[in-house]
Structure 1
Amino acid sequence: MSPDDALKYARKEIENAPQIAEDPDLYSPLFKNVSAFKRSYELMERILKVYIYRDGRRPIFHTPELSGIYASEGWFMKLMEENRRFVTQEPQKAHLFYLPYSSRRLQTALYVPDSHDLNPLSIYLRDYVNWIAGKYPFWNRTRGTDHFLVACHDWGPYTTTAHEELCKNTIKALCNADTSEGIFIKGRDISLPETIIRNPRKPLRYIGSGRLVSQRSILAFFAGNIHGRVRPVLLKYWDGKDPDMHIYGPLPARVSRRMTYIQHMKSSKYCICPMGYEVNSPRIVEAIYYECVPVIIADNFVLPFEEVLDWSAFSVVVPEKDIPNLKSILLGIPLRRYLKMHTCVKMLQKHFLWHPRPVKYDLFYMILHSIWFNRINQVQIEKEQ
């Protein structure tokens, strides 16, 4: 089949996915429709081919950054470029085309500190897209709708704005998945999990399980730098106001001597994940790693893998206006529901892990699946239009 026919075939297969009651590799309460996800994933493994452009100067292109807060884009780039199952050297067979740039490398290479000017970054990416559109026929054939990028820096969305087709048509996997700014397009774009990698050689080294529910004596915990619109309000209402609510700015030395940041997460029922300057927060994935139910406070934030995951099964989303009622909202959750959420968080971990070599259903595959899944849905929309 041609690439387009293959995507249309996959769409029909997913719509008519056989119902599964139980699967040893998938925990069905995590998913909106586990049968559709399983069938889509199987088809991705069987069908999907990705062409990676070899153009682009280092370090902005083809140079993954594997540590730090923006490591998601680097790990995806590394594992995608090393992949033999999905990558094709024959672009005419490709269903998707990967633009292998790093928004973090773009920022460090081109941004003038304190200038507040992002234009050089977006212009550089615009010129790159124009270059590949002039050199190859693939961009112009679809106006970029079968192309994708992966960008975790806060400024990732803004680097696309100088090129209209890149901004509006291309599938963008972004950590800063904010629908209020008119750049992230829900249903086309992907919310990319923000993960902190401390040791690139051993990405799983600092990940550990939390305590039993009976050993979680803290109702809610947050500690971190105070910036953006949400965190100052969180501290205003809860810093030092209630013994059940361990809410701080940077964790004070007097507190950390008794209990570290990670120990707090392992000992808390709920981990508060407020937005910073932008809507995304690495605390969401940190909470999952330590089996602490994430409480997400960030209006207009599209949650990672929202197209397939049911976030109500393992998290609490609190509108920013309800911060004063935070404790009563958490206490209002019945114990039985909390126990189910806690179990779901534990079962969810496997989908948010980076491995030196990808493991089925891990974070690399979840990102690629969401890109594949949204592209299939867009093919249907294009046909209808």
Structure 2
Amino acid sequence: MDCSVKTQLFLQIEKRKWVIMVGLVALTHLFCQSLMLPYGNALLSLFPSGKSKNLLMANPSHNDSSVKTLIDDNHTIAGVLDMDNDQSLFVRGVKSTKTYNVHVNAEDDKGSMEKKEKENMDSDVVGNGMDDDVDFVDDDTLDDVDVDLEDGFTVENSTQLGKASSGVVLESKTSEIQEKNVTDGSVILPTLVVSSDKPSLIGSVVGEKPESETSISDGSSMHISLSESKDVSVFRNNGSSVPNKPAKKKMRCDMPPKTVTPINEMERLLVRHRARSRAMRPRWSSERDQEILAAKRRIESAPFLKNDRELHAPLFRNISMFKRSYELMERVLKIYVYKEGEKPIFHQPILKGLYASEGWFMKLMEQRNNRFVVKDPRKAHLFYMPFSSRMLEYTLYVRNSHNRTNLRQHLKDYSEKIAAKYRFWNRTGGADHFLVACHDWAPYETRHHMEHCIKALCNADVTMGFKIGRDVSLPETYVRSARNPLRDLGGKPPSQRYTLAFYAGSLHGYLRPILLKYWKDKEPDMKILGQMPPGVPSKMNYIDQMKSSKYCICPKGYEVNSPRIVEAIFYECVPVIISDNFVPPFFEVFNWDAFSVIIAEKEIPNLREILVSIPEKKYLNMQLNVRKVQKHFLWHANPIKYDLFHMTLHSIWYNRVFQIKSRY
């Protein structure tokens, strides 16, 4: 072989050695960076700069598949599937750092309970409290990762590559893991392993929080808490807080209802439920049942009554039946009030503020001179459970806990105690028992264990379990003075009401922003405002505006009910109710078309056109009817005939009369 050929071969060999050497150096450098840097950022050069990688790849059919978590300059986790080697370069790099502590907390309640706990009533008279079984929806995309797990998948902590069994089942169809940032460096979640054979979280047992330890670059350990509400909170074990970006949430009360029951459909439901009794058949008959059935027959055969000196006929669906029913209630009805339960949740009424309705009813029902109350439960037609839903929330709810289970459990224990001590609950399953509750959480708190009871609720929402014809829509009254609940009563005559429509208040819920969007500062005769300026004068200004407006707009807030309805009647202003699925107070006896305007939420853009189209004569009739119906919505320290106490009690009696079975 000549010299030139040997030289070429030698150069080629040396070139290949050089290429191999350079490659080895590059791989060694990459490997060292993976070990030395806190989070394996050496691999970020594999991705284009400035782009987030929100990827999760898994093969459900491959039991050994794993997902390797990567993080880019924007601190966004990406998933890279390695089907063959769980001990890949990146996994070893992550394992070389210290570990995390990942807590998955499956809460019973998904709601942000504290959102409406304390609300200022100076200018915005709106119910506070939270939705029952609140459904959350993420309102924005976090700066960090959202890893969506399909139904049936398992989240496994692979940081330690443990194979411990798990018992925490992901109840929601989609679970998201959201990564947060800390000030001293970026944070990544442990390597995730996704498989489809069992829906669980490795390293945990039912009712416990799985713990597999890791730490941040400064050596302090941390844990990330995830819940069904997809909220993530980060804490250091040394007690210091880790800054995190709170996720914006949308609750059910922040979104329009999925289904709408118009007022005419509610009318049909009432007639249908009146036609067929739906109450549980008693386990045994009683003399009290026979007395109620006799009263029912007399009510149904009431003589026709066109006018009455005490009652205004246009206000009622059937004044003849109401008059006869009310008279029979005064003559026949006997109620036993349970003495069980300790203060402040039981037997301690709140007489001032937003939840005054339940408090005033409790106070007046437990007065010594109450003509309806009997000491012998065997003589009772109905049984009253005197608890305050407001005091239940105030006493037992742990703020920021997002959990109302203990509230419901407290009432469950109470009802079980009654059932164990008395035989009356068991006879009807609670169908002849009633409760009066005004807090927004009451539908949730009384669900299941008090489901057969007659519920007088301010939150009368047909989509939240309110039963038309059995339950009672309790008026939500904001009482400013417990000593004088009738303070500031009345308003200006129609000729001095120059404002067409008035509303002022905070923008709670989804509906009020829509109202302001269309009508704030749009028409001179419509005063549609946000929250009025703070200060003492604003209180009287708010009242004066209602006293001098033709129509008072009553949009729903967080829930369907609003104290503005009673306020409008209080100040002799025609209420305009804008709240889909809301059952107006005393729906079973009152004809709300006679003294109010009910508008579907979708008609807000046409609000002014609807009000202007109402003839002046009809408005004057409605305003007169508002003044006539006013006495039925007033609290008195000593109850008087047809007042709010007696109207509430009558509706409870009336619904029981038409629910009881005719045969046994």
Q: What TM-score, normalized to structure 2? A: 0.56
Query: Which deviations, in whole Å up to 9, do the C-alpha atoms of 1:207-261 show, x marking residues without a partner?
Result: 2x2111111110000001111121111011111111111001111369x679811
- 1:322 corresponds to 2:603: yes
Is the CA contact 2:568–2:574 (under 8 Å) kept in the aligned structure 1? yes
**Using a 3 Å threshold, how does the CA distance of structure 1 residues 273 and 258 change in structure 2: closer, same or farther?**
closer
Based on CA coordinates, which of the two structures has the bigger radius of gyration? 2
Q: Is structure 2 residue 330 aligned with structure 1 residue 48?
A: no
2:662 pairs with 1:383: yes
Q: Deviations over 1:117-141 (max 9, x none)?
A: 1111111101110111011101001
Instruction: Quote how far apart the aligned CAs of 1:310 are.
Output: 0.2
Hey, what does 1:160 align to over in structure 2? 446
Could you say which residue in structure 2 is the equivalent of 1:222? 503
CA–CA distance in 2 between the matches of 1:152 and 1:230? 21
Aligned to 2:461: 178
- Residues 1:114 and 1:253: Cα distance change in structure 2 (over 3 Å): closer
Equivalent of residue 141 in structure 1, options 427, 445, 454: 427
- Between 1:20-29 and 1:95-104, the stretch displaced more is 20-29
Structure 1 alignment gaps of length 5 or more:
none
Compare relative contact order (CA 8 Å, sep 6+) and give the higher one, 1 or 2.
Answer: 1
Could you tell me which runs of 5 or more consecutive residues in structure 2 were left unpaired when the two chains were aligned.
1-285
Aligned-partner Cα distance in 1 for 2:429–2:539: 57
Partner letter of residue 130 of structure 1? E
Q: CA deviation at 1:24?
A: 1.0
- Partners in 2 of 1:283 and 1:361 — Cα distance? 21
Q: Aligned AA for 2:431? A: T
Q: Distance in 2 between matches of 1:186 and 1:370?
A: 12
Q: Is the 8 A contact 1:123 1:162 kept in 2?
A: no
| Count of matched residue positions in the alignment of Structure 1 and Structure 2 | 377
Q: Tell me how far apart the structure 2 counterparts of residues 296 and 225 of structure 1 sit (CA, whole Å).
A: 17
Letter in 1 for 2:341: G
> Are residues 1:151 and 2:437 paired?
yes
Q: 1:339 aligns with which of 620, 624, 628?
A: 620
1:332-379 superposed Cα distances (whole Å, 9 cap, x missing partner): 111111110000000011000000000000000000000000000001
Q: Which amino acid aligns with 1:62?
A: H
Alpha-carbon distance between aligned partners in 2 of 1:135 and 1:258, rounded to the nearest angstrom = 49
Give the direction of change, closer, same or farther, for the CA distance of 1:140–1:156 in structure 2 (3 Å limit). same
Aligned to 1:289: 570
Equivalent of 1:354 in 615, 635, 645: 635
Measure the CA separation in 2 of the matches of 1:294 and 1:27.
18
User: Does 2:294 align with 1:9?
Assistant: yes
Deviations 1:103-126 (A, max 9, x none): 001000011112221111111101
3-state secondary structure, aligned to 1:124: helix
Query: 5 Å matches for 1:90-105?
Result: 90-105=376-391
- Is the CA contact (8 Å cut-off) linking 2:364 and 2:370 kept in structure 1? no
Tell me the equivalent position of 1:364.
645
2:493 is matched with 212
| Deviation larger for 230-239 or 39-48 | 230-239
C-alpha RMSD of the superposition: 1.6
Distance 1:357 1:251 in 2: 35
* CA distance in 1: counterparts of 2:342 and 2:553, whole angstroms: 40
Q: Which structure carries more helix by proportion?
A: 1
> Could you list the per-position Cα deviations for residues 74-122 of structure 1 after superposition, in whole angstroms to 9, with x for gaps in the alignment?
0000000114310001111100000000000100001111222111111
The 1:49–1:238 alpha-carbon spacing in structure 2 relative to 1, beyond 3 Å, is same
- Structure 1 stretches of 4+ moved >2 Å: 256-259, 382-385
Over 3 Å counting, the alpha-carbon distance change for 1:162 and 1:39 in structure 2 is closer
SS at structure 2 position matched to 1:11: helix
Is the Cα contact below 8 Å between 1:122 and 1:162 reproduced in 2?
no
| Aligned amino acid, residue 19 of structure 1 | F
Q: Percent identity?
A: 60
